[in-house]
């Protein structure tokens, strides 16, 4: 295993001065650094919490498209203090080097497991994912199965049918709203929860967002979203109840409120022609009359991953529930972890 380490106080570009073997499992202090997998992929990994008790599950956080491990700062801090947890940056995000080629969610899942193996962090895992990250987490489920995935928490997650049901109908909004308009989805989510981040967490989040604005890794993930969705659909995880009786929690936000902001901002643009405004009104009707029911059905369908599942509706959040209601998410993760120890949920 090749590992590069940098201290928690270093928040700039990842250019560690030290290299060597680190204890990612039983180390007493928080660690972060670059870990090289056996196939050459190098990802930024960070761990916190007490030394792992042999046999106990550890929590693995998976961020959404356009986001890094730093987006999970408040949730990780609010976890049950007995939990050992790990966050990481997918290739091209945050402090991880960019990938050499485009990859689907399935390939990303393989990269994560390769790096965890190199770091000596073995299963069982509790996977906690937001948005697009749920596709990656469920590909991990496909690779490992219920014996090694002890639980799953999905926060306002994408699933394989979401592309056709929601993303595809909303594609005209991308050209109408433009990057600045669509950025409201993040501004009403991650940045709206800024007061729930510590100063250090917010600083890291800002640095990661600045890099993403330059590198735009999320664009490559979005380009393969349909392929990632189709690949996951072929797994048949709902029909097979892929996690058996392992605990699964589905947390749903209210994405409708975010898109309302985007529509309102786009309407204020003076350069939209007559046809563009007609398209915008059709999108407005879709958001007001259809998206809520479709999203609710998609979120609830994910409960079919296990016979031991529960549904939680976040009442104060849009899509970025991990930033605006981190305590709710942390409580659900802690509950799943506790249930894995006691065998109940």
Contact status, residue 38 vs residue 55, Cβ threshold 8 Å: no
Which CATH code is given to the segment(s) 2-342? 3.40.50.1820
Give domain limits for the chain: 2-342
Rounded to 5 degrees, φ, ψ at 152 are -150, 135
Give dist(CA 64, CA 212) in Å, integer.
Answer: 13
| pLDDT grade for 18, boundaries at 50, 70 and 90 | very low
Helix (H) or strand (E) holding 201: helix 199-215
pLDDT at 269 over 90: no
Instruction: Please say whether the beta carbons of 154 and 243 come within 8 A.
Output: no
User: In whole angstroms, what is the distance from residue 37 CA to residue 250 CA?
Assistant: 31
Are 151 and 176 in contact, with CB atoms under 8 Å apart? no
Return the structure tokens found at 147. Answer: 């014996």
Whole-number Cα distances in Å, 307 to 138, 314, 337: 16, 22, 17
Provide the pLDDT confidence category of residue 268 given band limits of 50, 70 and 90. confident
| Average pLDDT of the segment spanning 193-205 | 86
**CB-based contacts of 306: which residues, under 8 Å, 6+ apart?**
152, 241, 242, 243, 244, 245, 246, 247, 248
Tell me the pTM: 0.91
Query: Stretch 62-76: mean pLDDT, rounded?
Result: 94
């Amino acid at each position: 295993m090749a590992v590069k380490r940098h201290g928690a106080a270093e928040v700039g570009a990842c250019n560690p001065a030290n290299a060597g073997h680190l204890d990612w499992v039983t180390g007493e202090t928080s660690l972060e650094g670059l870990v090289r997998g056996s196939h050459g992929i190098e990802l930024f990994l960070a761990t916190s919490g007490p030394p792992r008790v042999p046999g106990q599950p550890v929590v693995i956080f998976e961020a959404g498209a356009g986001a890094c491990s730093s987006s999970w700062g408040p949730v990780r801090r609010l976890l049950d203090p007995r939990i050992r947890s790990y966050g990481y940056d997918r290739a091209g995000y945050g402090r991880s080097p960019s990938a050499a080629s485009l990859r689907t969610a399935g390939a990303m899942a393989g990269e994560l497991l390769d790096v965890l193996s190199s770091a000596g962090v073995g299963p069982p895992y509790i996977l906690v994912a937001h948005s697009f990250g749920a596709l990656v987490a469920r590909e991990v489920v496909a690779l490992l199965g219920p014996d090694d995935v002890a639980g799953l928490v999905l926060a306002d997650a994408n699933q394989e049918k979401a592309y056709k049901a929601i993303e595809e109908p909303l594609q005209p909004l991308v050209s109408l709203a433009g990057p600045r308009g669509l950025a409201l989805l993040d501004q009403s989510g991650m940045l709206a929860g800024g007061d729930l981040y510590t100063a250090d967490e917010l600083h890291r989040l800002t640095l990661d967002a600045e890099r993403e604005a330059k590198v735009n890794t999320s664009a490559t993930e979005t380009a393969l979203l349909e392929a990632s969705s189709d690949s996951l659909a072929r797994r048949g995880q709902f029909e097979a109840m892929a996690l058996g009786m392992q605990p699964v929690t589905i947390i749903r936000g209210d994405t409708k409120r975010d898109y309302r902001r985007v529509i309102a901002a786009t309407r204020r643009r003076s350069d939209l022609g007559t046809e563009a405004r007609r398209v915008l009104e059709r999108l407005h009707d879709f958001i007001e009359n259809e998206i809520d029911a479709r999203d609710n059905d998609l979120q609830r369908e994910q409960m079919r991953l296990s016979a031991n599942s529960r549904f939680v509706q976040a009442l104060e959040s849009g899509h970025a529930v991990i930033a605006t209601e981190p305590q709710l998410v942390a409580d659900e993760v802690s509950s799943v972890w506790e249930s894995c120890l006691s065998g109940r949920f």
